[in-house]
Chain A
Amino acid sequence: MARRVHCASAVICVIGAIAFPNSSHAQSFLDHFIVRQDLSTSKNVAQPSFFQLTAPEGKPVVIAAGVGVIGKIVDNDLVTFGPSVEYLRNTDLVKPVDSTKVGASLEWQTRKTGTSRGFAADSPIVIARANYVRDGLKETNGFQALALYTHYFAGRRRWPLPNNEHGFGQELSLIYSPDAGLEFEDDGGSSQAAPGHAVRFVAEVSVLMYPLRKTLEQRLELAGSVSTRSDLVKTFIYEDREHVLSSAGVNFYLLKQARRSAGVGVTFTYGEDPSKGFARQHVWQFGFRVQFK
């Protein structure tokens, strides 16, 4: 127990130092990166990265982590583009996962918004990624490409519209982000897995709610998401053509700034996501959260 507490204390200190450095140079450096759990979702409803340590008596410490980082090379009023790394690892599961993706990410707001300047009141947003993928458990290497479309609405709206935070009084707000697109995956295989490729239709919706919004200054966050991947073409040997992954969770941010946040959270995940090597199962996770939007 004492060992777990020490591990937890150390992680909180490290996360705090990373997310909220005193040095302006360090903050300026961190401004060049976006950090969240999953880079394929929109940043509006992105879930924070998680870190989880398990220190069983007499056994090695098990580390579970889900983190994605985008560096910003092109960063103007409409486009953010740069190299990206995404890492999902949890070997303490019934069906463990160990996925590393390295590539490039793009987020493109296709038209200018801002009615006070004569620009549009809404805009399509395109999210795209291309990655080398390594599955550390199956020892396979592959390539993935993903393109998603979502739509952003600016300003006050009578009804909740996508990517537009909607208030219900002062103490509750909701924001949701639907997106859809295509995913291509090619896997070279290994002695443990056959090679193959797939083209999938991807549709997902993520929702965030902030109860006690004004009182807690948006520190309490309820999150939910459902994604489905439908195989349009596939040569992989698995049987299912539909892959559904859903999750629900609660985060409480102990430290929160405009773009950076850190806290604790619990998430329940059910389903499967072949693009991450995440086999069908359900998982409870409690851990530390960090996010740079």
Chain B
Amino acid sequence: MPGVIPEQLKSDVIAAIESTASIGGDITPSTTLSSVGISGFAAESLASSFQDIARQFRPDASVARSVCGNLNTVADAIALVAKAAGFAG
């Protein structure tokens, strides 16, 4: 169902961000990644987890390091993985 993002995908993305964050703070959709210490290598390293999450829904999904480095908020990350998984955009 294109356009409807599964709750499982959202919670998996947030869990991936929580495990990568190096600085404390609540992780909500409006949280900026830099505010929890995710930039540079940390932001780009999310690509492996995001790709793994997206492949649960679309086996050939791919997520590039540089795209993850461009992410600003958690909501942006959810949208990116949803798009890679074929749910949006």
Contact = CB atoms under 8 A, between A and B. Distances in A.
Binding site of B, secondary structure by majority: helix, strand, loop or mixed?
Answer: helix
B18 A163 contact: no
Bin the interface of chain B by size. Answer: 35 or more
Interface string A111-142: 01111110100010100000000000000000
B86 interface: no
B23 interface: yes
Contact of B42 (A72, A154, A167, A218): A154
Interface of A: 31-32, 34, 42-45, 72, 75-80, 109, 112-117, 119, 123, 125, 152, 154-157, 163-167, 173, 175, 214, 217-218, 257-259, 293
Contacts of B64: 75-77
B48 A155 contact: no
B70 A259 contact: yes
B16 A77 contact: no
Interface of B: 12, 15-16, 18-24, 32-35, 37, 39-53, 62-67, 69-72
A43 B40 contact: yes
A42 B71 CA distance: 19
21 contacts: A31-B67, A34-B66, A42-B40, A44-B41, A75-B66, A77-B47, A77-B64, A109-B44, A114-B49, A116-B18, A123-B45, A155-B20, A156-B21, A156-B22, A156-B23, A163-B42, A164-B22, A166-B23, A217-B35, A258-B72, A259-B69
